Every structure is written in structure tokens, then in C-alpha cells.
């Protein structure tokens, strides 16, 4: 029997509640809404709650025998979250394999019941230190069966492809494409989880820290050509796909190479590569679909035909994950 697809009303009470809290001012950015880094921080706490619902309450404890390693995240940002907002998150299972699973988390505005963000998270059931995949227990499978739902439309990929791919990322390719360096640095002990691996939010957070290297020019072009000239512009991400291919540890070095991959009349698509600047290895790759936002009306600023033409000059042809 196929798993049930929650209806619009049922979707507010499907699965199991795995997190509840709110937003602090210091979790928000210059755009006035919660920064993407903290969307992932809260999702990781919720993931620990979902692991507990699967019979693994100690999955992220230092002395655990098994944990869930995040391989990939697909995030759709549905509605802005501002300082003081009350939020909660529910979780379910979309599918479970021999050693992996695709899990669903939905972040809600608690006062309205509206989804703020959805997450499809691919995890592996692994040994905590070595990260070696091994089969789920029968108890976890039984719990997963009771929590399995079909993918709801609200969490479906809209502007990114979630299919398999072979990464094109490398230092040499980054130089060939003249990608922009968004950031460079070293993973420190406080950047890591209890198992010594880089914390999941570090990738998206470091992209966010340096993204103005690209968006300053993009937003300037869009603003200048807008029919209704906005006084203040910022940005918002609509959708993200992040794939972790290897895990840096404390002392490892990272460099972020990024570029504009495409523009439509509303959106800007960017691709980010997290690389090891010394070995040349690929830590992870990501694709983001973003918009330019009028910070006073909180509305998307359309990308005029002339702005699209101007931005072709900095669009990197053939840039993919």
C-alpha cells in the first residue's frame, strides 16, 4: 500500500513534532529575516528529534553506537521568519533504504500554522566516528513504517533537480571558469559536531557570509533597471540543494568558489563549490535559487529584460554541481 499523502489540513498535524522554539534577533541578517545558517541549525536539532522518534534518542550523543550522517539537504523557503516569531517543526519519513533514508521536516509558523520552510534530508545510518554505513535496526524500520508519508507538494523540488549527478567541481575547473572566491578559512574545533566533523550548517553559513561578493553587483543591476525603483534592496533564497561529498574536520582548510549560473525574470541561480585548497578535494557542492527583495515592501523585484541582458556578462555558462 502506498504511503498516505497528507491533505492541506492534515499536513498541519502529520508525522511527529520534533522541535519547537522561536527566532532571536541575532539569528537574523541584514535582510531582516532569519539567516539560512539558522534554518539549518534548527533543522539539525529537529533531525535529532526525528532520530529519537525512530528509536535513536542518543543519535547525536558523543558515546552513541549509531548516528545519522547528513548526505544531502533540499530546502524550500516558504515564508519569511522575523525576530520573535514562534516556530515548530514536524518530521516524517519519505523512504528508507538498507542504510540510508530520505526524511521530511517542515518548519511552521506556530501562530498561523503556515509552513516557513520544508526540508528533504538524505541521511545515512552510520558508525559515529568512522562514518561507516550499516543497516537500520528492525526497531527503526518499524518506527519508520508508522511515520512514512508520500512527498507532499509543499515540500517538492520546484526549481532545482534532485536527481543523481557527477560533480564537475575542482580547483582547476574553478580557475577555468573564473569563479568568485566567496570565502576561505580553516575549520576550527567549535565549527565541528560531537564526532569531530564539520557541523552541517557551516557550508550554507559560510556561503551566506560571503555571498555579497556576487549579489552586490546582481542586485545593483536589477535595482537600477527596475520600473519601480526600490529605495532598499536585499535578497532571499527560495530553494537550496546542498550535497556533502566529504566532511572536513578541525584543522582542515576550505575555500568557496561560486558563480551566477542563470537569471530569469524573477530569479537568480547560483552554484557554490566548497573545496580543499591544498589537496584539491571537493567537500561539497550546492545550488541556490534566489530573488532580489524590496526591503520596504517585502516583495520580489522583477528582473527586467535589460537587467537580464546586463547580467549575462557575469553568468558562468555550464556551471553545475
Q: Are 68 and 59 in contact (CB under 8 A)?
A: yes
- Assess whether pLDDT exceeds 50 at residue 153: yes
Rounded to an integer, what distance in angstroms lies between the CA atom of residue 218 and that of residue 321? 21
Which is it for the CA torsion 49, 107, 119, 12, positive or negative? positive
> Residue 8 — pLDDT band, cuts 50, 70, 90?
very low
The greatest distance separating any two alpha carbons of the chain, rounded to the nearest whole angstrom, comes to 60
Q: Which is more confident, 50 or 2?
A: 50
> Residue 23 — pLDDT band, cuts 50, 70, 90?
very high
Q: Are 200 and 70 in contact (CB under 8 A)?
A: yes
Q: Quote the pLDDT of residue 13.
A: 60
Average pLDDT score over the chain? 94
Percent of the chain with pLDDT over 90: 93
Q: Quote the pLDDT of residue 229.
A: 86
Q: Quote the pLDDT of residue 7.
A: 47
Across 7-21, 104-118, 216-230, the highest mean pLDDT is recorded for 104-118
Q: Quote the pLDDT of residue 64.
A: 97
**Mean pLDDT for the stretch of residues 208-232:** 92
**Mean pLDDT for the stretch of residues 196-217:** 97
Q: Which domains does the chain have, with CATH numbers?
A: 1-156 (3.10.129.10), 159-321 (3.10.129.10)
- State the pTM of this model: 0.94
Rounded to an integer, what distance in angstroms lies between the CA atom of residue 250 and that of residue 71? 19
For residue 102 the three cell numbers come to 530520505
> Residue 105 — pLDDT band, cuts 50, 70, 90?
very high
Q: Quote the pLDDT of residue 14.
A: 82
97-101, 230-234, 303-307: the lowest-pLDDT one: 230-234
Rounded to an integer, what distance in angstroms lies between the CA atom of residue 236 and that of residue 106? 19
pLDDT in tens, 256-301: 999 999 999 999 999 999 999 999 999 999 999 999 999 999 999 9
- Assess whether pLDDT exceeds 80 at residue 1: no
Strand ranges inside 52-136, DSSP E:
67-77, 86-96, 100-109, 115-126
- Assess whether pLDDT exceeds 80 at residue 12: no
Which is it for the CA torsion 32, 37, 43, 44, positive or negative? negative
Burial level of 263, CB count in 10 A (0-12/13-18/19+)?
buried
Which is it for the CA torsion 116, 33, 298, 221, positive or negative? negative
Strand ranges inside 114-187, DSSP E:
115-126, 180-186
> What one-character DSSP code corresponds to residue 82?
-
Backbone phi, psi, residue 69, to 5°? -95, 125
- Assess whether pLDDT exceeds 60 at residue 164: yes
- Assess whether pLDDT exceeds 80 at residue 190: yes
Amino acid at each position: 500500500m502506498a504511503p498516505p499523502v497528507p491533505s492541506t489540513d492534515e499536513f498541519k498535524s502529520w508525522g511527529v513534532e520534533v522541535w519547537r522554539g522561536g527566532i532571536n534577533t541575532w539569528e537574523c541578517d541584514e535582510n531582516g529575516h532569519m539567516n539560512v545558517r539558522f534554518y539549518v541549525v534548527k533543522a539539525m536539532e529537529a533531525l535529532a528529534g526525528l532520530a529519537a522518534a525512530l528509536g535513536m534518542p542518543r543519535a547525536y550523543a558523543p558515546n552513541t553506537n549509531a548516528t545519522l550522517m547528513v548526505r544531502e539537504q533540499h530546502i524550500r523557503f516558504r515564508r519569511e521568519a522575523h525576530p520573535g516569531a514562534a516556530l515548530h517543526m514536524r518530521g516524517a519519513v519519505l523512504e528508507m533504504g538498507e542504510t540510508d533514508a530520505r526524511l521530511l521536516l517542515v518548519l511552521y509558523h506556530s501562530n498561523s500554522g503556515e509552513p516557513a520552510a520544508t526540508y528533504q534530508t538524505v541521511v545515512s545510518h552510520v558508525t559515529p566516528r568512522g562514518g561507516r554505513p550499516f543497516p537500520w535496526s528492525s526497531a527503526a524500520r518499524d518506527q519508520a513504517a508508522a511515520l512514512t508519508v508520500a512527498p507532499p507538494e509543499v515540500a517538492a523540488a520546484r526549481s532545482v533537480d534532485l536527481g543523481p549527478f557527477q560533480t564537475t567541481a575542482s580547483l582547476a575547473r574553478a580557475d577555468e571558469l573564473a569563479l568568485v572566491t566567496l570565502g576561505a578559512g580553516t575549520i576550527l574545533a567549535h565549527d565541528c559536531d560531537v564526532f569531530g566533523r564539520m557541523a552541517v550548517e557551516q557550508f550554507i553559513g559560510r556561503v551566506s557570509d560571503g555571498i555579497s561578493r556576487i549579489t552586490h553587483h546582481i542586485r545593483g543591476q536589477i535595482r537600477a533597471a527596475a520600473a519601480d525603483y526600490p529605495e532598499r534592496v536585499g535578497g532571499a533564497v527560495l530553494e537550496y540543494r546542498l550535497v556533502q561529498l566529504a566532511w572536513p574536520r578541525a584543522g582542515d582548510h576550505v575555500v568557496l568558489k561560486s558563480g551566477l549560473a542563470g537569471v530569469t525574470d524573477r530569479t537568480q541561480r547560483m552554484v557554490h563549490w566548497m573545496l580543499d585548497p591544498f589537496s584539491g578535494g571537493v567537500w561539497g557542492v550546492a545550488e541556490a535559487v534566489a530573488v532580489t527583495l524590496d526591503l520596504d515592501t517585502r516583495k520580489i523585484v522583477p528582473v527586467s529584460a535589460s537587467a537580464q541582458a546586463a547580467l549575462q556578462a557575469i553568468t558562468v555558462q555550464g556551471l553545475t554541481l
